[in-house]
Amino acid sequence: MSKLSKNELIVQKTQKLRAVLDTLPKFCLDFFRGIEQRTSLLTRINYAYDLRLYFSFLDNDLGKPVSVAKELQNVTMRDLEIYMQYLTLYYKDDLVIQNNENGIARKLSSIRSLYKYFYNKEIIDFNVTSKLTTPKIHEKPILRLTNEEAEKLLHVVNTGYGLSSRQLAYQKKTKLRDIAVFTLLLTTGIRISELCALDISDFDFKAGQFKALRKGGNEVFLYLGDEADDALGAYIEERKEKSTYSLDSPLFLSMQNKRMSVRALQELVKKYAKIAVPLKNISPHKLRSTYGTMLYQKTGDIYLVADVLGHKDVNTTKKHYAAIDEQRRKDAADIVKIKKNQ
């Protein structure tokens, strides 16, 4: 049975990062060593991909190859603005790649970090990216499920209602696993990447808690409610019956008894959500937003929500749940009455 342990996953990602670093100018290694202690492995992989695209553009499209850090100064504001325009639509392996303002902003953030690092190290004399205007980010309404929609989603996962005959055949084999996945997402607000990395050994069912590796590398303890405890308990018992249970095993296994990937879990959520709430484009992150919303509605404690969701800055949490505050303020208008019999 092929199973990747957490350590093996880290090795796999480290190998991926090193493969991309080999395609970058050698001086970039100093930058990645410099940010290693304050960024996650996944963040560094994304930075590496972004920088590879940037240096390829400078070399192939502008004819301005950069081989040493000092040559970063040769890039002008006009060059960066042309690059921003390029990012809106370009081709990769005959595929059309498009970026919205969020995608462009993220790629520019990687470049800014690189320039800032070498400017602070006094290797370059000026940081041209500091004057670059980031595309205006248009805030989109945050999609989340209502309590009724969340209940309907779990009903679809449990019964297979609306699935095709082929999908139903798989659902019968993965039903308990899928219920455990959705219940854990909806009752803990865990990120999909954190969920994917969980092993059975991360759980202490007697204490009703488990440890998760947060974005940024911090390890935290999260707690199981009765619903999650019951769903996971049924799934674990099934794993024992199928002889696929061991403490060092990944928590969620694919049909091939391998650790489920982030992509597989995303597709799983998409499959059931399309049936339960066809008018909403629900992703795992939307289930996280649903949990945060429900927790805030029940407690009114934005700091608790920020802590449980693992937000480093409570302002991030406030931004996501501002709409709820607005509704609470509207509701408050009818709470206090001056005239009697109203």
Q: If you ran DSSP here, which 8-state letter would residue 340 be given? A: T
Query: Does residue 109 or residue 141 have the better pLDDT?
Result: 109
Which helix (H) or strand (E) is 219 found in, with range? strand 219-223
Measured CA to CA in angstroms, residue 230 lies from 151, 170, 214, 226 at distances of 16, 22, 24, 6
pLDDT one-digit tens code per residue, 187-221:
998 989 899 989 999 999 999 999 988 776 778 89
pLDDT one-digit tens code per residue, 25-83:
999 999 999 999 888 888 999 999 999 999 999 999 999 999 999 999 999 999 999 99
d(Cα 138, Cα 135) in Å, to the nearest integer?
9
Runs of H (alpha helix) within the chain? 6-21, 28-35, 41-60, 77-87, 101-120, 147-159, 165-188, 192-196, 226-241, 262-276, 284-299, 302-309, 314-320, 322-332
Q: Annotate 273-324 with DSSP letters as a single string.
A: HHHH-TTS---HHHHHHHHHHHHHHHH--HHHHHHHHT-SSHHHHHHHTHHH
Token match 């304050």: residue?
Answer: 38
Find, among 80, 89, 88, 54, the residue nearest to 132 by Cα.
Answer: 80
Q: Which domains can be identified in the chain, with CATH numbers?
A: 7-131 (1.10.150.130), 147-329 (1.10.443.10)
d(Cα 125, Cα 334) in Å, to the nearest integer?
60
Residue 85 structure tokens:
């325009």
pLDDT one-digit tens code per residue, 131-168:
888 777 666 666 788 889 999 999 999 999 999 999 99
**C-beta of residue 190 within 8 angstroms of C-beta of residue 265:** no
